[in-house]
Chain A
Amino acid sequence: MRRIRDMIRGRAGELLRDGTVNRVLGWTNGEFYYDPNPAIFETEKSLDSLVYNGFSAAMLSKYLIEATKKEGRVLVFLKPCDTYSFNHLLKEHKVNREKTYVIGIGCGGMLDIEKLRTLGAKGIESIDEEGENVVAHTLYGDKTFARRDALLEKCLSCKGKEHKVYDELAVADDLWEWETVNRFTKVGELEGMGPGERFSFWRGELSRCIRCNACRNACPVCSCLKCVFDNPRSGVQAKANADSFEENMFHIIRAFHVAGRCSDCGECSRVCPQNIPLHLLNRKFIKDINAFYGEYQAGAVAEGKSPLTEYATGDVEPSIVYERGGA
């Protein structure tokens, strides 16, 4: 990905210089190797700190909502998965396509710093990405891990490396390739459990929720100006999970509100400070939608209806839920 970083630094400089774009949305380097944060670059000089590495997981498309409200055009770097979100934002008129210039960038799979820590890397000062390996230089010595073991969940089940929308591409042939896993396996496992088991599973997970709203605020689909849960007049406002019902309620409704719109970008799970597998809620809806109404991939295109804004007269009845066995 270093090669791509050099390519996009150069291209961003050119595009700023020739006036094609007025600003650049990318990632800037941080204190450590693993903490680049999204940033807007307005000068060619500032591009020196533009980074792109295995920790540039934070998706940029949602930032375009604000960025395209400004005068002029913004250059944005979109990984393949981010292009789905971008398409979705276009579809819902959140982002002005005219004001964006998209460089689709190749991706070698994003890394999960938490996984590295769990694998035993303590006090990580810097990291080297070396092909199929990741080397962590820590306060307590160097440690090498298989890149695959350190991949984010969302990357393990990557939807594909094809960019759905772009103005130009920046890809390199030295990108690490990996075999993806079926994203519905875990959902299927849960479906196979008894209701009591499922209930305990979800209670265990959702009871950790601290209602920081990171899942919601990072979600490219959750782009309401004011969420129902923040609105004192909605009748369902809840700033904190006062009890287990509210833990369930927030996550059921959030998943429902993004049902048919969620492209399964996995940001919700990535950003969760308590590591709750929120993507399993969204994937359940996606799996059901595919089974009930035909395969649908949100964000594959920038127009058309989504499964919950259309219908077919021959749709399955809700009673299908009872027919699927189990109590």
Chain B
Amino acid sequence: MHADEQRQTETIIRTSGVNVRKCMKCGKCSATCPNFAEMDIHPHRFVSMVEEGDVAALMRSKSLWRCLSCFACVERCPRGVEPAHLIEAVRMEVIRPQGGNRLRPEAVPALLDEKIPQQLIVSAFRKYSK
């Protein structure tokens, strides 16, 4: 494995807090995923690819940005693997080196509306800063 890829894999595992070895390959994550059809790499493969250290492909993949972060896979996983957290960590691994977020934190206050749930702001911030 490429040294960079190995470091990235370690970072992903560390930042996600996910123990990929807990996965028993049942596929329930993919079974429950509402956006399965839009993805080329499916949730269960996210887990196995990280486990194998094959993260470069993941980071390139479009599916990475198709995940809705609905957390259905996290909710349903019988082993508590939390694939969505892993996906989020891969995203961060892609974003961080890019710098120059499109949506800057300073811009957020102006966009605030008291009725917007905070969760939405955080997700939006995450999404539009990519």
Direct contact of A and B (CB under 8 A): no
